[in-house]
Amino acid sequence: MSYVAAVDHLYARGLELAPDPTAPVGTRRKFDLEHMRILSRALGDPQKNFPSVLIAGTNGKGSTAATLASILTTAGYRTALYTSPHLSRVNERIQISGESISDEDFARLYFQVDSAAEHLVAAGELPQPPSFFETLTGLAFLHFSGDAYTGSAPVDIAVLEVGLGGRLDATNIVDPLISILTDISLDHQDYLGDTITEITREKTGILRPQGTLVTLPQHPEANQAIGEAAAMLDLHAISAANYIPTAEKLLHPEPGTTGTAPGVNLPRNRYTISVDGQALHVDSPLMGQHQQRNIALAVAAAEELRNCKGYNRDKSNSKSYEIPNAAIEDGIRKTLWPGRLELVSLSGSAPLLMDVAHNPAGAWTLRAVLAQLPEETPRTLLFSCLRDKDLREMSQILLPLFDRSSPDRPKDHIFLAPINSPRAASLEELSEAAEALEIPVEVSPTLAEALAQARAVTPLDGLILATGSVYLIGELRPLALNLSTEEETRRA
């Protein structure tokens, strides 16, 4: 069967949180981790063939995963990376040492998973076919576990990003060497709970008795819930706080920038920390002060993985991983995680800054970044988001920064555009959110037209910002990169 057939068949299952068209209105799929275990047993329990690190949180887990995977790859280990969602192609979610799974391997393994699922449903062992995410997780675990067809061996280690929550997430059938909790805030309340305490308890479901946890101090409610779980499970808990640069370093950062364009100068994360009593120079392409927390988590996890005296000696880590400080430095520098404060120069127009901020916490982080730009820089916002996100709060956070009816921002514009997702907020819903704030916006019928209009009205010394959803950036990024290529060709 072909790759196209596999992808079409996969998407016919519906995306992770898309409404089920066969279910009564107002109901949602209930997840049961035992269903994932049943599917995995039918596949030979591939997740038992490789050690893993499991990462949960609301924001930052993808950046942390990408940074840690880059460090491990640079150290010479065949490293798997499983993330979600993807930007452009579903293959991006399943990588080994920086290479996405091939179309051929994806198709072959997809139909292996699908065939096993069909037999389980027919035998009454599963009540329904696995979800989009459960299917992809089974596929990824097969790919990571080694393949007799291709002659590949199991990966040395897999870095796995939880899809949703933690306790019931399909990835949670692994027995991780280390569990990492990134920053936790309100998101997916319909599934995880209405408070940070409830959400944190779902995410601490990835922890194991006498296991190892790497995290950072954060919201008081999250801290308390994490502390309660750590005490109950007798965890070896590690704080990554020592790997965040000091206030002095933040006031006097090392020179260098990542994003530079007319009117835009975004500081690169360059600073020095101490690891095992030695200076370690951080130079990350991931912009924004918030990334310092994600980098710190990755560094702490890497240090623990090389610690043969830790709690992991009975979990395939008796000899530890050899990860010198030089590999940590180089891995951080080589990290690739597109769509996160990614600045692209466009031919004949203002540059485009893309960020996947998809919830209120992400919007506040983005707002802090914008505060670092010159106040006089003309700015255009290209915005859209999903219906199940807090559109009202995200609008309140971001839209006033681009309010051209304000005397301070007469050259600013806001364009609303549709995105290709069954969960997408409609143009009417987006417009109503802006109207409630009495902020003028313009509506575009397509994302491509919104980008064209934004380029036309934004001065060359201004900035176009696209944000609000991973899906928006996933659609927009190929358009932007084509325009960027034109710019490079013109300069050459």
Task: Write out pLDDT tens, residues 248-284.
Answer: 555 445 544 555 555 567 778 999 999 999 999 999 9
Low-confidence ranges of the chain (pLDDT < 70): 15-30, 187-191, 247-264, 308-319, 484-492
Looking at domain 342-491, which of 3.30.230.10, 3.90.190.20, 3.30.300.30, 3.90.550.10 is its CATH number? 3.90.190.20
Look at residue 178 in the predicted model and tell me its pLDDT: 96
Look at residue 146 in the predicted model and tell me its pLDDT: 93
Residues of the chain with CATH 3.40.1190.10: 3-333
Tokens of 228: 């309660």
Look at residue 313 in the predicted model and tell me its pLDDT: 43
Look at residue 487 in the predicted model and tell me its pLDDT: 54
Look at residue 33 in the predicted model and tell me its pLDDT: 95
Look at residue 301 in the predicted model and tell me its pLDDT: 97
Look at residue 27 in the predicted model and tell me its pLDDT: 46
Class of domain 3-333: alpha beta
Look at residue 421 in the predicted model and tell me its pLDDT: 85
Look at residue 420 in the predicted model and tell me its pLDDT: 87
DSSP string, 228-272: HHHHHHT-EEEE-GGGSPPHHHHHSPPS-EEEEETTEEEEPEEEE
Look at residue 389 in the predicted model and tell me its pLDDT: 80
Task: Write out pLDDT tens, residues 295-330.
Answer: 999 999 999 999 755 544 454 455 579 999 999 999
Look at residue 147 in the predicted model and tell me its pLDDT: 84
CB atoms within 10 A of CB 414: 25
Task: Write out pLDDT tens, residues 436-484.
Answer: 999 999 999 999 999 999 999 999 999 999 999 999 999 999 999 888 6
Residue percentage of the chain with pLDDT more than 90: 74
From residue 321, how far is each of 207, 300, 313, 318 by CA, in Å?
Answer: 21, 13, 11, 9
Residues of the chain with CATH 3.90.190.20: 342-491
Look at residue 311 in the predicted model and tell me its pLDDT: 45
Look at residue 1 in the predicted model and tell me its pLDDT: 75
